[in-house]
Amino acid sequence: MKAVTWHGKRDVRVDTVPDPTIQEATDAIVRITTSGICGSDLHLYETLGPFMNDGDILGHEPMGVVEAVGSGVTNVAVGDRVVIPFQISCGHCFMCDQHLYTQCETTQVREEGMGAALFGFSKLYGAVAGGQAELLRVPQAQNTTIQVPDGPPDERFVLLSDVLPTAWQAVEYAAIPDGGTVVILGLGPIGAMASRIAHHQGHRVIGVDLVPDRLAREAARGIEIVDLAIHEDDLADVLREMTGGRGPDSVIDAVGMEAHGAPVGKLAHQLVGLLPDAVGEKVMEHGGIDRLSALHAAIDIVRRGGTISIIGVYGGTADPMPMLNLFDKQIQVRMGQANVKRWVGDILPLLMDGDPLDAESFATHTVPLDEAPDAYEKFQKKQDGAIKILLKP
Ligand SMILES: NC(=O)c1ccc[n+]([C@@H]2O[C@H](COP(=O)([O-])OP(=O)(O)OC[C@H]3O[C@@H](n4cnc5c(N)ncnc54)[C@H](O)[C@@H]3O)[C@@H](O)[C@H]2O)c1
Ligand SMILES: [Zn+2]
Ligand SMILES: [Zn+2]
């Protein structure tokens, strides 16, 4: 089969690789019909290289049709139309019972001290082959599948694998009070969808980014925007002025570790990239620092006693954090990978009933799998209005 594979920093290719097969009774094989490229893939493309192996298959936002199931999978059948959550979870352990699917104890990557295995996401998360491919082996298929009805096109449902539940969790964790205001840092796919969800729920939403078409697209839907390119130095002051001098009740960090405006962290990332992998891996594990400008901005912006919801991914172990401000301002902080299946029951009815979030038209580009290398580059450089790119195997 054809698959998108990682070969080094900013080097992804489409290779021919062996077809996956059923290995465990709990596996399924899915023929992929649509697969997203995510901002998280860009971390692998740029910064997390030390944790990747040459030839790893990328992708964690796929959907398709079940082609085979193992003998232990009784609730999913050949021919079912399924979206695949980005995390692999069993559905019956202590953590899954609490809907903490990203902590699943059956799939936790204990050798690396990490949570549940993820598709296409480096050896930190189990080095599981990803879904930017013609076929995908889905472990723990009894729970790692979301059945969706026939009818609407893939574009309506494919964001259930990551963007929609991730954005939903970001808004839930932000604990925006009734009549409250949320500031969303970053209007990539995750921040943009979070802004739509919070707005749909009736909250006041202020979005911040520095890419003109990302700001314009959400502004056109009625959210307020602030352009970081203009307000890099006085962002928190501007946002306080917009919120009665106090600051917003909640801030969502939908940027993560590769934030604009963090020269020290950027240099550290570049240095790690120059080291041999084994050394770079140790440096990241023990002394890794993130580009923290978005998170530091969130701490400054949020009102006293407010909540920060971190949905952007961080990977450092030696991040300098302003504990004085966090403590003195009495800030609540919640974060983590999204527990995809926790939120499907909230989201699916919206997709079936008028699609008020416009999920179906959310992707800006749909291209054949063969064009993945070009699509990665376009998405990373934010060229050609690329906000969300879908691949068609
Ligand atoms: N927690 C989860 O489960 C989960 C799931 C999916 C994605 N993510 C993470 O969410 C983050 C966003 O994902 P995405 O797909 O939207 O990525 P993206 O890279 O397309 O979006 C990030 C946006 O932030 C903007 N930005 C950069 N620096 C900024 C700053 N200092 N202030 C404000 N905006 C800034 C960029 O211009 C860009 O538009 C990534 O870190 C990704 O890894 C987390
Ligand atoms: Zn993703
Ligand atoms: Zn589990």
Q: How many CB atoms lie within 10 A of CB 271?
A: 11
Using pLDDT thresholds of 50, 70 and 90, give the confidence band for residue 50: confident
Residues forming beta bridges with residue 68, ordered by sequence position = 29
108 shares its domain with 185: no
Tell whether 102 and 191 lie within a shared domain: no
Looking up residue 258, the CATH number of its domain turns out to be 3.40.50.720
Task: For residues 193 and 247, state if they share a domain.
Answer: yes
| DSSP symbol at 19 | P
214, 137 Cβ separation under 8 angstroms = no
Ligand 1 test: best mutation among 209, 252, 309, most atoms within 8 Å of CB? 209
d(Cα 236, Cα 257) in Å, to the nearest integer? 20
Distance CA 288, CA 83 (A): 34
Contact 38, 24 (CB under 8 A): no
Work out which ligand 1 atom sits closest to the CA atom of 335.
1
Per-residue confidence (pLDDT) for residue 286, from 0 to 100: 62
Q: How far apart are CA 44 and CA 73, in angstroms?
A: 32
CA 34 to CA 149: how far, in whole Å? Answer: 15
CB-based burial of residue 9 (10 Å sphere; 0-12 exposed, 13-18 middle, 19+ buried)? middle
Q: Is 268 found in the same domain as 210?
A: yes
pLDDT at 263: 63
Q: How many domains does the chain have?
A: 2
CB neighbour class for 337 (10 Å; exposed up to 12, middle 13-18, buried from 19): buried
Q: How close is the Cα of 17 to the center of ligand 1, in Å?
A: 31
From 121-130, 315-324, 361-370, 378-387, the region with the lowest mean pLDDT: 315-324
Asked if 61 contacts 359 with a C-beta cutoff of 8 angstroms, the reply is no
Task: Compute, in angstroms, the gap from residue 110 CA to the centroid of ligand 3.
Answer: 14
Counting ligands in written order, which one lies closest to the CA of residue 311?
A: 1
Q: Which ligand is closest to the CA of 42, given by its number? A: 1
What average pLDDT score do residues 273-283 get? 64
> What backbone torsions phi and psi does residue 185 show, to the nearest 5 degrees?
-90, 120
- Supply the residue whose CA is at minimum distance from atom 42 of ligand 1: 40
- Residue 274 token pair: 């120059």
Range of the domain at 30: 2-161+339-392
Are the CB atoms for 154 and 324 separated by under 8 Å?
A: no
Give the mean pLDDT of 169-187.
Answer: 98
| 173 and 191 both lie in a single domain | yes
**Torsion sign (Cα): 8, 12, 15, 21:** positive
Q: Measuring from atom 21 of ligand 1, which residue has the nearest CA?
A: 188
Residues with CB under 6 A from ligand 1: 38-40, 42-43, 162, 166, 185-191, 208-211, 214, 228, 254-256, 259-261, 293-294, 311-313, 337-338
pLDDT in tens, 279-337: 666 666 666 677 899 999 999 999 999 999 999 998 888 888 999 999 999 999 999 99
- Answer yes or no: do 329 and 350 share one domain: no
Q: Of all protein residues, whose CA lies closest to atom 38 belonging to ligand 1?
A: 188
pLDDT in tens, 17-43: 999 999 999 999 999 999 999 998 998
CB atoms within 10 A of CB 21: 10
Token readout for 333 is: 């902080």
30 vs 25: CA distance, rounded Å: 15
Domain match, 264 and 308 both: yes
* Distance from residue 162's CA to the centre of ligand 3 (Å): 18
Q: What is the CA radius of gyration of the chain?
A: 20
CB 155 within 8 A of CB 359: yes
Query: Nearest to residue 280, comparing CAs of 11, 89, 51?
Result: 51
Instruction: Write down which residue in 335, 361, 380 finishes a domain.
Output: 335
Residue 260 pLDDT grade (very low, low, confident, very high; cuts 50, 70, 90): confident
Q: How far is the CA of 371 from the centre of ligand 1 (A)?
A: 23
Quote the ligand 1 centre to 368 CA distance (angstroms). Answer: 24
To which H or E segment does residue 346 belong? Answer: helix 340-352
- pLDDT above 90: residue 257: no
- Whether 390 and 158 have beta carbons less than 8 Å apart is answered as yes
What is residue 258's DSSP assignment? B
- CA–centroid distance, 182 to ligand 1, in Å, is 16
Q: Is the pLDDT of residue 192 over 90?
A: yes
Question: Please, how many CA atoms are within 13 Å of residue 270, restricted to the half-sphere of its CB?
Answer: 6
Residues 171 and 157 in one domain: no
**Same-domain status, 33 and 116:** yes
Instruction: Give the confidence band of 46 by pLDDT, cuts at 50, 70, 90.
Output: confident
Same-domain status, 205 and 250: yes
Looking at residue 238, what is its pLDDT?
A: 98
Judgement on whether residues 299 and 352 belong to the same structural domain of the protein: no
- 324 shares its domain with 364: no
C-alpha 29 – ligand 1 centre gap (Å): 31
Of all protein residues, the one whose alpha carbon is nearest to atom 40 of ligand 1 is: 312
What mean pLDDT comes out for the span 167-195? 97
CATH number at residue 373: 3.90.180.10
Task: Give the residue among 113, 191, 105, 100 at the shortest CA–CA distance from 140.
Answer: 105
